[in-house]
Amino acid sequence: MRLTTFTDYSLRVLIYLALEPGRRATIAEIAAAFGISRNHLMKVVHFLGRNRLLRNVRGRGGGMTLARPPAEINVGEVVRLAEAGSLPAECFDRDTNTCLITPACQLRRALGEAVEGFYQVLGRYTLADLVSQPRALTRLLALPHRPSDAAARIGVSRS
């Protein structure tokens, strides 16, 4: 299964913010760190805020922070939210399905099981798991802050 760009960017924003959960970051800052479009990130940040994953503050001195600790943000739930409406095949949409073999085909059942398995595996991970290597991530994203402090704030051991 391939994630949409929207889901990919949603996870990147959350990962970035999880490295320093108490600090506000801006869309411009995150876009620059990942080399991605600010316009796309604006939609992502709005979506994450609307779904209570981020606290967004507008205006001068504004930015965003995680709305919950990284250990309380489930990766499977984030992906389900962001991928809502994304179907693995035409036969999953009763309104637009034009496939002639749908009544006898077993592909829908097989794909349905595969997608559910995909979400079950992602459901075993939290945002804290995704940032369990804060030094490496901080270095790759060129964050100016000390990764050891970030590790302590998110409850990751540095062993």
Residue-level pLDDT at 8: 96
Residue-level pLDDT at 27: 95
Residue 57's φ and ψ, nearest 5 degrees, are -120, 125
Q: Tokens 């099981």 correspond to what residue?
A: 113
Average pLDDT estimate for 36-60: 94
Residue-level pLDDT at 144: 61
- How far apart are the C-alpha atoms of 114 and 48, rounded to whole Å? 26
Contacts of 31 (CB under 8 A, 6+ apart): 37, 38, 41
Residue-level pLDDT at 99: 82
Residue-level pLDDT at 135: 87
What is the SS3 assignment for 67? coil
Position 39 pLDDT exceeds 90: yes
Q: What is the pLDDT of residues 124-152, one digit of tens each?
A: 999 999 999 888 888 888 776 544 444 44
Confidence (pTM):
0.81
Classify the phi-psi angles of 156: left when phi > 0, otherwise alpha if psi is within -120 to 50, otherwise beta: beta
Q: What is the pLDDT of residues 106-116, one digit of tens each?
A: 888 888 888 88
DSSP codes, 27-59: HHHHHHHHT--HHHHHHHHHHHHHTTSEEEE-S
Torsion of CA 18, 39, 141, 48, to 10 degrees: 10
Domain ranges of the chain: 5-154
Find the range with the poorest average confidence among 9-13, 38-42, 89-93: 89-93
Question: Does 13 or 105 have the greater pLDDT score?
Answer: 13
- How far apart are the C-alpha atoms of 154 and 142, rounded to whole Å? 19
CATH number assigned to the domain with residue range 5-154, chosen from the 4 options 1.10.10.10, 1.10.760.10, 3.40.50.300, 2.40.50.100 = 1.10.10.10
Average pLDDT estimate for 96-120: 85
